[in-house]
Amino acid sequence: MDELWRGEETEARVRTAAMIRDLLWREAKMRGGIGELEHPHSPNALRPDSPAAKRLHLRHLEVAAECGRVAQQLMDEIAARAGRAGASYPEMGAATGLTRQAARQRWPQAVGTRWHLHTMTGRQHPHGAGTMLLRSRDKAVSTGWDAVRKGEAASGGAIAAVVSDSERQVVWSCVFDPVDYDAVSIDVPKELGTVPAGGGEDYQMWFYHWTQFVDAELERRTTRT
């Protein structure tokens, strides 16, 4: 089934490429004053050393260059929309045949306006989970900070918070310190540094390990001298 799907995808790409080539050739002929159904019917049908071939090939090159510029502009517009919709640089790179670093360099402003705040609530097991999407890193951090600082006053309040960027990387984290009775910033372990998309099994597993880490951290802070 996978091989069939890949074969259909390849055929679709070949058809798309052929349509674009045909469109550019027809436009080049039109600019050269040649009717769509008139000879030459393909670039290879021209005598390679004739002045007419030179003129038409240059027209063809002109049209292809214009198409490239339009395609680049269109890619910029689409990348911005994709970023606003939550796409990450690895996903953009996969869609365009680029590495994550190359996609970031190509569209530096496309991603980074979405910050995910994850909160852990309840002093006892099972802990509850909350998520919030914000457009500002500072706002996400301050919201998480306030939630943990104020939440511990109630048994169901927040005891920990994590902020991740649009690439799901943790950029800030805090827990409620039961001794100082205040929220304190902490670093999460490397294995918790990437937050899977919410709702799935991967996220549930990440949240489970996060609760273990937070519980151990709270226990350590409670028993410290």
**β-pair type (170-177, 158-164):** antiparallel
45-97 pLDDT tens trace: 888 788 888 999 999 999 999 999 999 999 999 998 888 777 888 899 999 99
Helices 51-84 and 89-96 pack at an angle, to 10 degrees, of 160
Residues in CB range of 101: below 8 A, 6 or more apart: 89
Measured in Å, how far apart are the chain's first and last C-alpha atoms? 62
For residue 5, what pLDDT is reported? 56
CB contact at 8 A, 111 and 167: yes
- The two most distant CA atoms of the chain are separated, in Å, by 91
Q: What H or E segment, with its residue span, contains residue 29?
A: helix 2-31
Mean pLDDT of 105-134: 85
The C-alpha atoms of residue 40 and residue 178 are separated, in whole angstroms, by 82
For residue 3, what pLDDT is reported? 60
Q: What secondary structure letter does DSSP report for 196?
A: P
Q: Report the percent of the chain where pLDDT is more than 70.
A: 93
Judged by DSSP in three states, 209 sits in helix
Mean pLDDT of 29-44: 88
Residue 218 amino acid letter: L
Confidence (pTM): 0.55
Residue 55 amino acid letter: R
For residue 112, what pLDDT is reported? 64
Q: Among positive and negative, which fits the CA dihedral 145, 89, 94, 84?
A: positive
Residue 16: both structure tokens together: 């798309």
5-19 pLDDT tens trace: 566 778 888 999 999
- What would the DSSP string read from start to end of 44-98? GGS-TTSHHHHHHHHHHHHHHHHHHHHHHHHHHHHHHHHHHTT--HHHHHHHHT-
Does the pLDDT of residue 151 top 80, yes or no? Answer: no
Using CA atoms, how far residue 27 sits from 34, 68, 98, in Å, is 10, 14, 30
Residue 75: both structure tokens together: 């890619």
For residue 154, what pLDDT is reported? 60
